[in-house]
Amino acid sequence: MTTPLLELRDVGKTFGNVIALDGISTSVRAGEVTCVLGDNGAGKSTLIKILSGVHRPDRGELLLDGSPVEWAAPREALDAGIATVYQDLAMIPLMAVWRNFFLGRELTKGWGPLRRFDSAQARRVTTQALGDMGIDIRDPDQPVGTLSGGERQSVAIARAVHFGARVLILDEPTSALGVRQAGVVLRYIAQARDRGVGVVFITHNPHHAFPVGDRFLLLGRGRSLGDFAKGEITQEEVTRLMAGGAELDQLTHELQRPPV
């Protein structure tokens, strides 16, 4: 087994008396998708912020390529190749696709007081990078706000891969999408995986996670319900663990129609 790109060992985080995470361990390997599943309040957002350098864990270790690391700021994590795509995508709807692609990483030409944004090169690189991921955007000059939800997610994924992401963290990328658009995003997650990127797919939907996932970390109220390789658990078992098996059985019993 190769050394994981990113690994959590017994990580915990508290905010006052609130236990956000307690004893969480998992790993992210190159060319694999680690799915983090949990309902609202399970600790998914806190986990994202620890991986991306927003929060430091109170206990446990975060390892990069087998060596312990402590991010002082999100920029350090980004410079190390840990890219996070949040639900809001960090895009400006009225700006063109190519302008959003280079937002914060502007290509320039010239020097000194004549240094300026190289818009022509930015358009070419954006079109090429999207094409390399199999993403067909009608016009790179169109505002991002005119794209569908799935297209915006695909642009954000392609942007992270283009700028050298080794680990790509996706925060609920399919939560607000219809069936067809969710399928589009899952296809691009698989493409990022096949390019050797380690993907962390945060979701509350086992039906979206299971087709692309290689490892599944299940969270419940900040604690691990299990960390499984794909061959160790079925989609039905994932659903039961997330819902609480006994509670789900009780609900099913309550909802059954009485015999006529």
Say how far residue 103 (Cα) sits from the centre of its chain: 19
C-alpha distance from residue 131 to each of 101, 124, 125, 134, 141 (Å):
13, 11, 10, 5, 15
Q: What's the pLDDT at 233? A: 92
Q: Which residue in 83, 130, 131 sits closest to 104, CA to CA?
A: 83
- Residue pointed to by tokens 């280079």: 102
Beta-ladder partners of 229: 215
Give me the chain's average pLDDT, please.
89
Partners of residue 22 on adjacent β-strands: 223
For the segment 229-237, the average pLDDT, to the nearest whole number, is: 92
Cβ-based burial of 110 (10 A; exposed 0-12, middle 13-18, buried ≥19): exposed
Sheet holding 215-220, edge to edge: 67-68, 59-64, 6-15, 18-28, 223-229, 215-220, 33-37, 198-203, 167-171, 82-85
User: Which of 159, 185, 171, 169 has the alpha carbon at shortest distance from 99?
Assistant: 159
Per residue in 4-54, pLDDT (tens digit) is 999 999 999 999 999 999 999 999 999 999 999 998 889 999 999 999 999
Distance CA 189, CA 170 (A): 9
**Mean pLDDT to the nearest integer, 151-172:** 92
| pLDDT, tens digit, 9 for 90 and up, residues 68-122 | 999 989 999 999 999 999 877 678 899 999 999 998 888 888 888 888 889 999 9
All domains in the chain, ordered by first residue: 6-94+163-255 (3.40.50.300)
Q: What is the pTM of this model?
A: 0.88
Distance, in Å, from the CA atom of 156 to the CA atom of 84, rounded to the nearest integer, reads 9
pLDDT grade, residue 1 (50/70/90)?
A: low
pLDDT digits (tens, 9 = 90+) for 162-187: 999 999 999 999 887 888 888 989 99
Max CA pair span of the chain:
84
Q: For the residues 218-236, what does the mean pLDDT come to?
A: 93
Phi then psi for residue 174, to 5 deg, are -110, 5
